[in-house]
Chain A
């Protein structure tokens, strides 16, 4: 097993924050979700107003280069941003489960408590089921292959292309990361770039 680059020190010097463009890739979709306290909400309640890193995961994922990588990188982003007074508490992380069958609010709450540092704005979300989940996954291009046996019975495992989204304060998607492109240093720099961009344009729509 070769670990994804996101687990190792970055092997190149990333471009300086603010030195490059992150062109908008379209609006981040909304949809009905359930937070880790069991409250019904909209996904947009947890997007906008500040840079947000959104990942799609499921808590029982055992592929070290899949969901665990996303959560590892997001925790590292959290640590990097919180360590700098200029960026502390100025961004948000959202981990969104695409396994509503197993990932109940209690499960995602317990999962999230392992990674959230203090009161940092790291949200863990799930859904009621396919009816509300599918439109969200479709909008974000996040398809999952569930493994079924020859009798059509779900085998409890699934596959997916890892996708992590950078979403700006106006709920525009500004970057998409996958396994070979997901590293805390570059994600944190992208967040810093959005913060610098917002600071330079104080009149920008906050999206809130």
Chain B
């Protein structure tokens, strides 16, 4: 097992790391990385009525092929109800996994270091809306040094798309919140196009450029509505985000609002030490957008590729950039395809393959070496498909091997058959992150032999 420190070849962990060139390729640059074989995948899973206990769960799957329980669910924690489990993220030291609920706005903090094979609930934040002054729908849980940045999707005044972001200590104490810039209050930001909608979704940092990039989706009224009903509601369909915001990372002040129409979702920034750009995809207009710093030092947005036939609404969802910045996996939820783009020229991405993963596909996570690609199926409780056109391939966790040319199925866990629910965000765990011996003290001076 090798652990990698942070962006490019820079190193944060002193001894275990190697100077080699997550989803391991999409994690915060502040975080230690697993660049060898991961031991576990933690899957934040939506509860489904009539499936098992019907509650949201954190499910742990053993993914180490040398393990006797390889490809098996080895642990599951039920969360006492359904919260619209969606995204999760690790703290910068990977000791805690934060997992949030878009409906109840609760955030569950799991201890994944005491026993990485059996996460336990450490703390529940149930006053997120109150503490943040009305932010609803905690989405991205993103590691900054010693703290977590939480993006919101909505607000408690009208449950629309205007929202904000919050910061918490790694231990779960509230620090501060900031609202996204709007026409009413640009907060000093430059409105470079037609929109300043104040919507939120994902966030990614480029520390060496002192930049934080945020995207925009839609509010509680839409993401909790039945998909068919919403698609038929012309007014509801107008209430999607059309912006990406460039922030001063150090001051947390918005600098520039870029037009990126059609609900830009996940943001993935390049790792290269001189690659000052990020990608996002738009759910409604089915395009790849490049968010980049031009030669004059100005941040710009440019549509650089189409994703399938936009008229058929393929609905691009999760994306995953390779560690060498040459490839981008793009899942299109509606047709269940994963598509691989060559992004070696970031201004001209080209689709080079596609593969049917299931009836629907949402999240994609790849190992640092890109050889293992994991997929899950669920998007939102009220948007997910409820019956497969053939077979039973709706709610799954799948591993494929990638050899640079094709995907080969390795295993498939049916989360309905297993009584678990609808799997969403995946995060990786590894024993080696916490030492060969099991430390009982922060200094590592008091230890017990490893359990595994």
Contacts and interface: CB of A to CB of B under 8 A. Distances in A.
Interface stretch (B156-164, B246-254, B350-358, B390-398): B246-254
Contact of A134 (B6, B176, B435, B441): B441
A162 B14 CA distance: 9
B5 A20 contact: no
Max chain A Cβ within 10 angstroms of own Cβ: one of B10, B253, B442, B449? B442
Max chain B Cβ within 10 angstroms of own Cβ: one of A14, A138, A145? A145
A130 B440 CA distance: 11
Contact of A25 (B93, B169, B252, B444): B169
A195 B437 CA distance: 44
A159 to B, nearest CB: 4
A26 B93 contact: no
A2 B12 CA distance: 12
Given A5-B208, A176-B147, A129 B175 contact: no
Interface string A41-79: 000000000000000000001110111000000000000
A180 B210 contact: no
Contacts of B5: 65, 179
Given A25-B175, A26-B173, A180-B207, A65 B10 contact: yes
A157 interface: yes
B436 interface: yes
A85 interface: no
B30 interface: yes
B252 A20 contact: yes
A146 B446 CA distance: 10
A13 B93 CA distance: 28
Given A146-B435, A161-B92, A161-B93, A15 B248 contact: yes
B388 interface: no
B439 interface: yes
Contact of B443 (A2, A3, A19, A134): A134
B10 A2 contact: yes
Contact of A179 (B6, B93, B170): B6
B439 A146 contact: yes
A21 B176 contact: yes
A178 interface: yes
B145 A130 contact: no
Query: A-side binding surface: helix, strand, loop or mixed?
Result: loop
Interface string A2-28: 111100000110110001110111100
B437 A25 contact: no
Nearest to B207: A180
Contacts, number: 170
Contact of B12 (A19, A100, A144, A179): A179
A163 interface: yes
Contacts of B3: 159
Contact of A180 (B7, B146, B250): B7
B73 interface: no
A143 interface: yes
Given A25-B146, A26-B169, A158-B15, A148 B447 contact: yes
B12 A186 contact: no
B29 interface: yes
A158 B434 CA distance: 11
Contact of B9 (A1, A24, A178): A1
Contacts of A152: 437, 447, 449
Given A65-B5, A158-B14, A161-B93, A138 B442 contact: yes
A158 B253 CA distance: 37
Nearest to B176: A23
Max chain B Cβ within 10 angstroms of own Cβ: one of A20, A162, A181? A181
B11 A179 contact: yes
A178 B15 contact: no
Interface string B273-303: 1000000000000000000000000000000
A133 B439 CA distance: 14
23 contacts: A4-B10, A15-B251, A20-B248, A21-B252, A23-B175, A25-B146, A101-B445, A130-B441, A130-B443, A137-B441, A137-B443, A141-B95, A141-B170, A143-B444, A144-B439, A145-B13, A148-B437, A148-B447, A152-B437, A161-B32, A178-B92, A180-B208, A181-B30
Given A65-B12, A144-B444, 9 more contacts: A1-B11, A133-B443, A137-B442, A159-B14, A161-B12, A161-B13, A161-B92, A165-B146, A179-B6
